[in-house]
């Protein structure tokens, strides 16, 4: 009797059937406990009704079905199924939605505006109405299949690369990036041992909106590394945005560039050191570097130059002090010589003035001293 009433009413007014059924039999609601379903943006997507997917209602028992979004109201019916007939509702064009053989909702083109909760309402044979719901989330997978470590200088495999760090960087770091994903991807850094075992170093990361992809996110995680020994680090990415690539990773072998043979540049701020100690895995050390061979050579040359300069200055000072004494000795000798030569013919001593010239006339008269 109730079934005949449903068939007759559906031809005239489908929603009246639902109202009468609710009043007569009541509604049994079922809540989806499997979590949200992620669908790829720009592709077709399928939402399964939990009442059917769980086997609670067999497929051959379903007579009437409706899909609602975002609320269970007349104007929110997307598409209906009635005794084998499928029809879009509320003016929605053909091809936007469909119901497949498993009574799942088929969305022909998934968009960001489709996110939310969808409701399925089912009328089995000789049974009351049942309601179920499923939450849909839009997923955008990154273009790169694996995380990108920006310091990698050589890619060995898709999951392995080498990073050669310059030896003049005081605090080298590794940065791992996953770009243009939705929802945002989580990152972890692990230390990888030679036997394959790993140890968690950091699970901290930052998320910000992507620059070139609309409504997607970029995740970044960086860690300090040691440059004194070769070590392996693994960047692990996980999250619904990765889809089938959830758990993808890349292993980085960190090496330090060899020292060049050119003469190092010495600045007055801080002299270069033989090796820069980096806090291992974030642990600081108070140990300081010892000067290298170039510094020792420079210091030795400076000391030798200073000693040589001191010797030269001492010799110059000694010579300068000796010169006036030699000049006085020469003048005294000249005075004694002039005194002996200037004596009169009668044996009397004649005074001699050094600061004059003697003029001897041609007529034999004794010369006179002219000042």
pLDDT, greater one: 147 or 228: 147
CATH of the domain at 207: 2.60.40.10
Question: What was the pLDDT predicted at 324?
Answer: 62
Question: What was the pLDDT predicted at 22?
Answer: 31
Provide mean pLDDT across the span 152-177. 88
Q: Let me know if residue 111 belongs to a domain.
A: yes
Q: Let me know if residue 323 belongs to a domain.
A: no
Beta carbons within 8 Å of 209's beta carbon, 6+ residues apart: 216, 217, 218
Provide mean pLDDT across the span 212-216. 92
One domain for residues 95 and 168: no
One domain for residues 31 and 134: yes
> 340 in helix, strand or coil?
helix
Consecutive H or E run containing 19: helix 14-25
Two structure tokens written together for 175: 């940065």
Residue 247: CA count within 13 A, CB half-sphere? 1
Average pLDDT over the chain, rounded to an integer: 76
One domain for residues 171 and 135: no
Tens of pLDDT along 316-347?
787 777 666 655 655 556 555 554 554 444 44
pLDDT exceeds cutoff 50 at 191: yes
Largest CA distance in the chain: 184
pLDDT, greater one: 7 or 201: 201
Provide mean pLDDT across the span 185-194. 94
Cα 107 to Cα 33, 80, 82, 134, 367: the distances in Å are 22, 14, 19, 14, 143
One domain for residues 103 and 214: no
Provide mean pLDDT across the span 179-199. 93
d(CA 195, CA 99): 52
Question: Do 231 and 224 contact (CB within 8 A), yes or no?
Answer: no
- From 108, 257, 228, 242, select the one nearest 187 (Cα to Cα): 242
Q: Let me know if residue 153 belongs to a domain.
A: yes
Question: What was the pLDDT predicted at 108?
Answer: 96
Q: Residue 278's pLDDT band (boundaries 50, 70, 90)?
A: very low
Edge-to-edge strand list for the sheet holding 160-165: 154-157, 160-165, 249-256, 231-238, 186-192, 198-202
Q: Residue 280's pLDDT band (boundaries 50, 70, 90)?
A: very low
Provide mean pLDDT across the span 10-32. 34
Domain encompassing residue 57: 2-139
Strand-pairing partners, residue 318, are none
> Number of folded domains in the chain?
2
């Amino acid at each position: 009797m109730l079934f005949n009433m449903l068939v007759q009413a559906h031809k005239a007014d489908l929603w009246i059937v639902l109202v009468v059924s609710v009043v007569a039999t009541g509604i049994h609601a079922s809540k989806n406990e499997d979590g949200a379903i992620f669908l790829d943006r720009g592709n077709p997507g399928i939402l399964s009704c939990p009442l059917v997917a769980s086997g609670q209602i067999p497929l051959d028992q379903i007579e009437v079905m409706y899909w609602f979004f975002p609320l269970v109201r007349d104007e929110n019916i997307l598409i209906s199924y009635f005794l084998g007939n499928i029809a879009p509702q509320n003016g929605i064009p053909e091809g936007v939605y469909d119901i497949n053989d498993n009574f799942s909702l088929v969305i022909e083109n998934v968009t960001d505006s489709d996110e939310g909760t969808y409701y399925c309402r089912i009328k089995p044979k000789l049974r009351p109405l049942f309601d179920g719901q499923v939450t849909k989330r839009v997923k955008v997978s990154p273009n790169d299949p694996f995380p990108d470590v920006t310091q990698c200088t050589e890619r060995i495999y898709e999951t392995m690369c080498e990073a050669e760090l310059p030896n003049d960087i005081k605090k080298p770091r590794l940065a791992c990036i996953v770009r243009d994903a939705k929802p945002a991807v989580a990152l972890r850094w692990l230390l990888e041992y030679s036997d394959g075992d790993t140890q968690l170093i950091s699970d901290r990361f930052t998320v910000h909106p992507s620059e070139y992809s609309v409504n997607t996110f970029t995740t970044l995680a960086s860690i300090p590394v040691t440059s004194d020994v070769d070590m392996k680090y693994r960047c692990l990415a996980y999250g619904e945005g990765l889809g089938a690539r959830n758990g993808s990773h890349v292993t980085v072998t960190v090496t330090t560039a060899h020292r060049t043979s050119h003469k190092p540049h010495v600045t007055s701020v801080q002299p270069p050191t033989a090796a820069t100690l980096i806090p291992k895995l974030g642990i600081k050390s108070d140990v300081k570097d010892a000067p290298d061979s170039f510094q020792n050579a420079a210091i030795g040359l400076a000391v030798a130059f200073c000693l040589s300069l001191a010797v030269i200055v001492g010799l110059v000072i000694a010579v300068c002090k000796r010169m006036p004494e030699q000049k006085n000795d020469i003048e005294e000798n000249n005075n004694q010589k002039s005194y002996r030569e200037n004596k009169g013919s009668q044996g009397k001593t004649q005074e001699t003035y050094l600061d004059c010239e003697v003029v001897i006339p041609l007529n034999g008269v004794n010369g006179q001293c002219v000042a």
